[in-house]
Structure 1
Amino acid sequence: MSQLPIPEHFQSASVGEIWRVPYQDRSGAAKAWLKKHQLRPVSQSQTSVKLLLIDVQNTFCLPDFELFVGGRSGRGAIEDNVRLCEFIYHNLGKIDHIIATLDTHHLHQIFHPIFWIDKNGTHPTPGVTTILPEDLQSGRWRVNPEFSNQSPTQLHAYALHYVQQLSDGGKYPLLIWPYHAMLGGIGHALVPAVEEAIFFHGVARHSQASFSIKGDRTLTENYSALAPEVTTDQFGTEIGTKNDSLIKLLLESDQLIIAGQAQSHCVAWTVNDLLTEIQAIDPDLARKVYLLEDCTSPVVIPGVVDYTAQADAAYQRFAAAGMNIVKSTDDIIA
């Protein structure tokens, strides 16, 4: 099947904006699209082509929100999502199943300002404060005792264990993030243009999209959609587990295509965990993974931090392992 045209309702200029998806209108249009292009329901597909969208949410993808991923161009996530929507529409008859992860947070989490205080009771400044083992050992930062029913001594011991685990495991150090992707808030929602494309695909192919929550545990981070950064406390008690059901779903694909935000963080960490699972089963399975490099951008805060090099290094490592680094305009689906 050749690539399909872009439906008239898609307007690239609106990808960076908030608006309501007109579900009923799009449902009718998708049914007409199905008939016009003779699309088959996914139940009749001979293969399984899955598209994994990592955290394509307002909080990361729109300029007025908390953690807009601008990349070096300053418009990274917007430009990525224009290409992503076009990729979905062009390949509507080839993509069988869309899976979207949703970064999901609450107020009191280990990477939010309210979790920590200094000796004056002041919370750390988000976006620029990292907390290292020596910061806890020196007393520069401590866990806020007013926001937990646990013993401050136990929480301090856990916090020290946590940041030490990050350091020992070669993870990014604990960065205090602005409040973002708050459950129930508009930032948590998918970007409207991408949500619309997912909905349109679902109606046209009779395919129910899947949605996977990540990052909602108080005492650990979840850059990866497949596993938390730290899984046990200082006593060895489990505080988070791998998402085995999602891992199984992804590995059952004949072809798995991945896009989303941010390339340097949640995308890279997810793909890294997926690669670990693949190498434990059969390294050749990496060949069925396709990374849309023009539908993802790294975290770049001008004058503060630029994770482009880390993102590039991760993708080079994935390519060396057998994964395919491609563009959304490439003809990658049989």
Structure 2
Amino acid sequence: MKTKFEEIVDIKRFGENEPVDLNELAKLAATEQVSKSDEKILFLGVDLQNDFLEGGALGVPGSFKDLERTLQFLYDHFDKISHIAVSLDTHFIQQIFHAAWWVDQEGNHPDPMTIISVEDVESGKWQPVKHKEDSLAYVKALEENGQKQLCIWPYHCIEGTTGVMLESQFAKLIHFHSFVHDNPIKKVVKGKGFSEMYGIVQPEVGSEKDESLLSYLREFDKIIVAGQAESHCVYESVKQIVDHYHEDHAFLKQIYVLTDGMSCIPGFEEMSERGWTELRKSGIQLVNSTDLKL
């Protein structure tokens, strides 16, 4: 490829929310010619948004280095990667995993990272401001299904804020790719419902799946996954795909997760390691970005 990496992105400006000039990118892309692969290869970027990167409301330590390696991988395999999809975690202030939803007996809202259990709700330690029956049923469903307990996250990825936007340098490279390959970026919005929604396929509580997205993913010969955070949205996204296609072993063997393109929310490392150990049994491959040759 003629266009240099540094002509598209500036790794020194990670997190600066630099405007993405699509008209300039279009001009630069018009000078580019690539030899496109016969394979359909998808890069799936999970929640590579300002609020999940360092300095963001729920910034993941190490995410800038993860992003640098991810961008270099995308550039190095620019010809081979035919399509790009991204998820966009999108929330409101008044959601069950935000502090505004809950109060204690003195009317105080919980601090970020507070875990709320069924016992906490039933004892009155934490009470929902509204939707009391539904809220208790939700917390019970999480525990009964053996899923992650309800965590009160810092306000993040609030619709209409800069935090919900794709990180600018990442946005520039993937839109440049879209111009050159003449393929649209698939943008998957998640997290606007009542339930938490870590994974891209379905919420934590509820049986509804994004069947259209699942069908879209199955169109590809290979899928490469990276993003934030490893312990939550990346892991749950991959797990949901594995759960749905658990009998399609040939397909699952062509899913590659970039181990150096994601990091855990602190405190969840051990849980994450156990989860990936189980998922590996399905055939998915966890690989370093510099070791994966497409």
Q: Settle same-fold status: TM greater than 0.5.
A: yes
Poorly superposed stretches of 4+, deviation over 6 Å: none
Q: Name the aligned partner's letter for residue 58 of structure 2.
A: L
Please report how far the alpha carbon of residue 176 of structure 1 lies from its aligned counterpart in structure 2 after TM superposition.
Answer: 0.8
2:152 to 164, 168, 176: 176
Question: In the superposition, relative to structure 1, how do residues 105 and 61 fare at CA in structure 2: closer, same or farther (>3 Å)?
Answer: same
Cα separation, 1, equivalents of 2:182 and 2:222: 19
1:96 to 75, 82, 96: 82
Please report how far the alpha carbon of residue 5 of structure 1 lies from its aligned counterpart in structure 2 after TM superposition.
Answer: 5.8
Is the radius of gyration larger for structure 1 or structure 2? Answer: 1
Any idea what the Cα deviations from partners look like across 1:115-171, whole Å, max 9, x if unmatched? Answer: 1112222211122x11101111111111114xxxxxxxxx32222211111111111
Cα separation, 2, equivalents of 1:23 and 1:5: 17
Query: What is the DSSP-based 3-state SS (H/G/I as helix, E as strand, rest coil) of the residue aligned with 2:65?
Result: helix
Query: What is the DSSP-based 3-state SS (H/G/I as helix, E as strand, rest coil) of the residue aligned with 1:86?
Result: helix
Q: Please state if 1:135 is matched with 2:120.
A: yes
1:314 to 275, 280, 284: 275
Q: Name the aligned partner's letter for residue 99 of structure 1.
A: A
Partner in structure 1 of residue 258 of structure 2? 292
Asked if the contact 2:49/2:167 (under 8 Å) is kept, the reply is yes
Aligned length: 294
What TM-score do the two structures reach when normalised by structure 2?
Answer: 0.95
In structure 1, the gaps of 5 or more residues are 71-75, 146-154, 232-239, 301-305
Sequence identity percentage: 32
Please report how far the alpha carbon of residue 49 of structure 1 lies from its aligned counterpart in structure 2 after TM superposition.
Answer: 0.5
Partner in structure 2 of residue 80 of structure 1? 66
Asked if the contact 2:42/2:81 (under 8 Å) is kept, the reply is yes
Question: In the superposition, relative to structure 1, how do residues 299 and 220 fare at CA in structure 2: closer, same or farther (>3 Å)?
Answer: same
Q: Name the aligned partner's letter for residue 224 of structure 2.
A: I
Cα separation, 2, equivalents of 1:99 and 1:118: 41
Cα separation, 2, equivalents of 1:95 and 1:276: 25
Any idea what the Cα deviations from partners look like across 1:197-255, whole Å, max 9, x if unmatched? Answer: 111101111111010000001x2100111110001xxxxxxxx7211111111122110
Cα separation, 2, equivalents of 1:205 and 1:185: 30
Any idea what the Cα deviations from partners look like across 1:25-76, whole Å, max 9, x if unmatched? Answer: 2211122122xxx444xxxx5321011111000000132x210000xxxxx1
Asked if the contact 2:8/2:172 (under 8 Å) is kept, the reply is no
Asked if the contact 1:15/1:193 (under 8 Å) is kept, the reply is yes
Any idea what the Cα deviations from partners look like across 1:101-127, whole Å, max 9, x if unmatched? Answer: 000001211111111112222211122
Q: Name the aligned partner's letter for residue 51 of structure 2.
A: T
Query: What is the DSSP-based 3-state SS (H/G/I as helix, E as strand, rest coil) of the residue aligned with 2:235?
Result: helix
Please report how far the alpha carbon of residue 15 of structure 1 lies from its aligned counterpart in structure 2 after TM superposition.
Answer: 2.4
Q: Please state if 1:8 is matched with 2:7.
A: yes
Backbone CA RMSD of aligned residues: 1.8
